[in-house]
Amino acid sequence: MSKKLFVGGISFKSTDDQLRDLFAQHGNVVSASILKDRETGRSRGFGFVEMASDEEAQAAMNALNGTEFDGRKINVSEAREKTEDRGGRGGRF
């Protein structure tokens, strides 16, 4: 079963392929993507990597969390499920 990881602190000049190559050193990468701003198309500085197994995801987390990637220190953790409540936007009082 695959496991999705959150990667924060990514350099704004990094690419999806660079992220994939970094994580591929620690196992089989199912997907790797850096999120982009809808309006500007610029990187948002974080992304997600899906590893083929829990063991590979754990190995990548242990090896890469707190390391430097493309000039920036990244943090790697298990991704959390997206929730419906997105915070304080547009609420009625």
The CATH number of the domain where 53 resides is what? 3.30.70.330
Secondary structure of the chain in HEC code, one letter for each residue = CCEEEEEECCCCCCCHHHHHHHHHCCCCEEEEEEEECCCCCCEEEEEEEEECCHHHHHHHHHHHCCCEECCEECEEEECCCCCCCCCCCCCCC
- pTM metric for this prediction: 0.85
Each residue of 23-47: pLDDT tens digit? 999 999 999 999 999 999 899 999 9
In a domain, 50, yes or no: yes
Could you give the number of structural domains in the chain? 1
Range of the domain at 18: 3-78
80-91 pLDDT per residue, tens: 987 765 555 554
